[in-house]
A and B are shown apart, each in its own frame.
Chain A
Amino acid sequence: MKVGVLALQGDVREHMAALTACGINPVEVRRPSELASVDALILPGGESTTIAQLSEIFGLFQPIRDRISAGMPVYGSCAGMILLADSILDAKDGQKTFGGLDITVRRNAFGRQVDSFENDIVFKDGSDDLVHAVFIRAPWVERIGSEIQVLAAVDSHPVAVRSESLFATSFHPELTGDHRIHRYFIDEVARPALEKVK
Chain B
Amino acid sequence: MTEVKGTGRVKRGMAEMLKGGVIMDVVNAEQAKIAEDAGAVAVMALERVPADIRAQGGVARMSDPDMIEKIQAAVSIPVMAKARIGHFVEAQVLQSLGVDYIDESEVLTPADYKNHIDKWEFTVPFVCGATNLGEALRRINEGAAMIRSKGEAGTGDVSNAMQHMREINGEIRRLSSLREDELYVAAKELQAPYELVKEVAQAGKLPVVLFTAGGIATPADAALMMSMGADGVFIGSGIFKSGNPAQRAAACVKATTFWNDAKVIADASRGLGDAMVGINVADLPAPHRLAERGW
Contacts and interface: CB of A to CB of B under 8 A. Distances in A.
A137 B98 contact: no
Interface residues of A, number: 43
Interface in B1-44: 1-7, 9-10, 13-14, 16-21, 36-37, 39-42
Contacts of B211: none
Contacts of A134: 9-10, 13
B253 interface: yes
Interface string A101-132: 00000011001111111111000000000000
Contacts of B21: 9-10, 46-47, 50
5 contacts: A12-B19, A12-B20, A113-B14, A118-B3, A134-B13
B76 A92 contact: yes
Contact of A9 (B13, B19, B78, B100): B19
A54 B17 contact: no
A137 B100 contact: yes
A178 interface: no
Given A112-B98, A117-B3, A14 B77 contact: no
B101 interface: yes
B239 to A, nearest CB: 15
A113 B39 contact: no
A57 interface: yes
Contacts of B269: none
A163 B85 CA distance: 49
Interface in B34-88: 36-37, 39-42, 75-78
Given A50-B39, A118-B9, A119-B3, A136 B17 contact: yes
A92 B36 contact: yes
Given A13-B19, A175-B9, A54 B14 contact: no
A8 B39 CA distance: 11
Nearest to A57: B254
A30 B258 contact: yes
B10 A118 contact: yes
A137 B78 contact: yes
A158 interface: no
Given A45-B17, A92-B36, A134-B9, A9 B98 contact: no
